[in-house]
Amino acid sequence: MHFLWKFLISSLFLTITKELQTVKIGALFFKDEYSLMEAFDSAITDINALDTELRFRVVKHFLAEDDSVILQNLACDLLEQGVLAIFGPSSKSSSANCIKFIPISRHQFVRVIIKVISYLDIVAVLCNQTGIPHLQFDWSSKAKEGDMRYYQFSINVAPTESTLSQALWEILRSTEYDWKSFTIVYEVESSSLSRFQHLLSWKPFHKNGLKMVKFRRGDDYRILWKVLSNMKEKFILLDCPPDILKEVVNISIYYNMTGGFNNLFLANLDTHASGLASLYSKKFTAKVTAIRLRRFIPPDQQGEFDIFHQEPEESIVLTKSQSLYDAVILYSKGLRTVMKSGSFRLPPKTKCGLQSWSVGEEIVKHIKQFKIQGGNISAFKTQKMFLSSTGLRDDFNLEIYNPLVERIVYIWNKGHGLVDYEKLQENSTQEEKRQKLSPRKEDFSLKRVRYTIATRMGEPYFMWRPEPEGVHYEGNERFEGYVVDLIYKLAEECKFDFIFEPNAQLGICDLTITQARRSVVDFTVPFMQLGVSILYHKPKPPEKRLFAFLKPFSLDVWLCLLVALLLMALLLILMARLNPSEWQEQQIDDCLVIIENKWFLRNSLWLYIGSILGMSCDLLPKASSLRLCTAFWWLFALLMSRTYTAKLASFITASKLEGSIKNLHDLVEQNKVQFGMVKGGSTSLFFSESNESDYRVAWNKMLAMKPEAFTANNREGVDRVRRSKGRYAFLMETPNIQYYAQRNCELMQIGPTFSEKHYGIAVPLNAPFRSNLSVGILKLSEKGILYNLKNKWFNNNETKCIPTDLVNFEQSTQFNINSVGGLFIVLLAGLLVAIVLGIVEFLWNTQKIAIKEKKSPGWALREELQFFIRFWRKSKPFRNLKEINEISDCPKTTTKLELSSKRHKTKAQRRKVKTRLREIS
């Protein structure tokens, strides 16, 4: 009996305990949300089956349409039934098109109205007023993350739009992707542009940055891809619902948008449920990238897994369903924590919004503080279930993967950024090991594209590579040259392989872009800009003349100038002797007055020579007639000197040799030098189709020349110029002229560049890889690689030649020492004549002194040399002053020219004084 009584008491206790552990939770669904219902039921089943302390009893309400009045009534009904939490509704609900009056206090009513207007979610408002936890699992386009701070009882486990936006921004700007410009393609009705807010602020619109294209469900998707194809866009970010994603992407194949240079980034988190993997083929070589929430992998507690065991497929795959499942699990953990604390009690069953449940705040607090720990009974569907203080899931793990082959490439989260998945596999769990052992599809996007490239032999673009003794090159190593280096650099930039073959996909050489060629092939952007000029043999330098400085004036001009100088000097002497103004009295001392005329031959020549040379003179005429004569001479001298200076400058700075060919016009106008070009090239096409007179005349002359003016290639034309020694000129592209002229000192470029051209890489018409090659060429140009390649193959050489323009200038314009040597000879001759004349005058004066002093010439020479050596003496004694004083009435006298007749009374005395003074002078 005692045992029976004890059994009955235990059974009653267990029944009461079980009843206390069973709680009600509510859920709001639209009637067509079957996947959400399935995920919700699966979470409830898992909790009830595995949890021995907690049982959920679900109350579901369904909406047939989006009506906020009905939604309010259903939410109030759940609250009146005493549910401990409400899940949903989904973002299909607008939640507040209108609002029914709720019987609450005035203060509470005002708060409710304000929050409804700001957030437009009636369920969140009701739960916030009653203290019932409200769990959401996705974001509507009208929801704002910042408004969550007004709803302390609302929790959203879906990834926030702002964090997703940050993730996309960090991924696309990382060095692994490095998207410089791209186009966002989005479906209008389902896409939320808030996920692209970081991208929209990062890249400018339509200026080598960001472009946006929208479409609608049910549109003709061919129009969408045709627009993108015309835009030549290779980087596309596509935000498309998973149910139509496969159909939309499949259309891109027919517009050549799935080649190896195309990049497609799928921004929808449910791309893995779209069936896109069925498009897997060798033709689909585009780099396809998608993102999704990383699945939760529970700790392995059963040792090694059996690789032969068939794992059940995951039925909950959509992000919204996974988030709802995780929301139920998360709520159960928070509720269980509160129940264990002993403060748990059921909410009161009252009318909607009239009373508040204080336990709900504690449950929400534990949910926000929850951290995943090992050994959890109920596993989540996604990783990193951490919530912020406002109830937002703003940190989570994203998988960046290829949806065609299910290959995970990177893992992203807010704290670590983008991490290589291969590095994480070193510490992988059993689930990850199981995924490793499963067979994988071959990723065709990882294979490098291989192009066959055609070219032609011609230095310095494409040449055979010299083989050292004992070395044999094969494949692409057999060749060298400018285009070989260029294609290697381009392959490294654009990540493709290549081989040189006759039948090819690409054509690269010194191939000029012309309209005729563009009708059969397409071209990339130019990799070199050039023009056409004339290659010519350097003429022999002119013979240098010793007296080249005399060349500005002819011989007769120089003779006339010399005669004019002498005549003007004699005229000045005659006019001065006739004019009394030029005779001046000069008081020598108290007894001696002389009359002086300073215009004799030496002074006259000095005046006129100085005026020609632009020098001043201390001797100037006083008479009006002499001044007028001198003024006209100055005018003549000014014009002659300036004319000589200008003419001499023109000889020095002339840019070409007299009689040489300066440009194409000079070449066409003469008949001594033949000229030609490569037959059938772009240069010949330019001349044959041009309407300008010089080009047309040049073309007609070349057609009539015998022997034929045209050559088979550039090398033949260069050899012909060298052999002709100035009788043949060759028209060719300027880079080739630069190459040959620097390596052959006999050659030079003459004339300016004309007919601007560009070299480009030829590709088939409408080739999908043309724009990628163009982008690669532009990158090489920006990095300076094209400039370095041109210097390597066109400028650097072992032959040291003076540049052509400098040769022209030195050989035809500059005066070197040979040209101006005559000036130094004239200066030296003048100095020698002056020195000789000075010596003769010195000896003559010494002889006169010896006679007057009645001494020997040796004595007089010694006396003068001694005075010359004593350079510190500033005065020299006057000789025979006593004799002069004896024949004069004055105590002192100085000999100059004549004595005044007024001072001497007798003619004999005057005659004696004149004779003596003349001898002394």
Based on the number of CB atoms within 10 Å of its own CB, is 11 exposed (0-12), middle (13-18) or buried (19 or more)? exposed
- Alpha carbons 798 and 821: distance in angstroms, whole number: 35
Helix (H) or strand (E) holding 523: strand 522-523
Gap between the Cα atoms of 103 and 97, Å rounded: 19
How far does CA 703 lie from the centroid of its chain? 45
Q: Which residues pair with 596 in a beta bridge?
A: 584
Which DSSP string corresponds to 860-904?
HHHHHHHHHH-TT----PPTTHHHHHHTSSSS----SS---GGG-
Q: List Cβ neighbours of 332 (8 Å cut-off, separation of 6 or more).
A: 47, 51, 54, 56, 378
Q: Which SS3 state, helix, strand or coil, does residue 338 take?
A: helix
Q: Which residues pair with 26 in a beta bridge?
A: 59, 86
* 67 residue type, one letter: D
Measured distance CA(746)–CA(397) in Å, rounded: 71
Does residue 77 sit in helix, strand or coil? helix
* Residue recorded with tokens 């699990």: 329
Tokens 């001497």 belong to residue: 904
733 is in an annotated binding site: yes
Residue 420 is encoded by which pair of tokens? 């290589």
In this structure, the dihedral spanned by the alpha carbons of residues 229, 235, 237 and 241, taken in order and rounded to 10 degrees, is 50
Q: How many residues make up the chain in this entry?
A: 921
Q: How far apart are the C-alpha atoms of 447 and 495, rounded to whole Å?
A: 10
Q: What letter does residue 442 receive in the DSSP assignment?
A: -
- For residue 688, the surrounding DSSP H or E stretch is helix 682-689
10 Å CB burial of residue 165 (0-12, 13-18, 19+) is buried
Is 846 labelled as part of a ligand binding site? no
* Residue 343 annotated in ligand binding: no
Contacts of 785 (CB under 8 A, 6+ apart): 489
Helices (H), 495-623: 515-518, 555-578, 601-612
Token digits of residue 867: 């005075």
Residue with tokens 């069973």: 22
Helix (H, G, I), strand (E, B) or coil at 372: coil
CA dihedral for 570, 573, 577, 580, sign (positive or negative): positive
Q: What's the CA gap between 804 and 537, in Å, rounded?
A: 11
Q: Is 469 annotated as a binding residue?
A: no
Cα–Cα dist 237/214, whole Å: 12
Show Cβ contacts of residue 601 under 8 Å, excluding neighbours closer than 6 positions: 569, 570, 573
DSSP labels, 530-542: EEEEEEEEPPPPP
How far apart (Å, rounded) are the C-alpha atoms in residues 154 and 129?
Answer: 11
Q: Are 743 and 737 in contact (CB under 8 A)?
A: no
Could you give the C-alpha distances from 713 to 719, 720, 732, 756, in angstroms and in order?
A: 10, 11, 10, 20
Within 579-623, residue ranges assigned H as helices are 601-612
| Spatial separation of the C-alpha atoms in residues 43 and 29, rounded to whole Å | 15
Three-class secondary structure of residue 742 per DSSP: helix
> Does 512 belong to an annotated binding site?
yes
Residues 527 and 788: their CA atoms lie apart, in Å, by 12
CA triple 121-330-303, angle to 5 deg: 150
Residues 6+ apart with CB under 8 A from 369: none
Residue 163 is classified by DSSP as H
Annotated binding site for L-glutamate: 512, 517, 682-683, 733
Annotated binding site: 512, 517, 682-683, 733
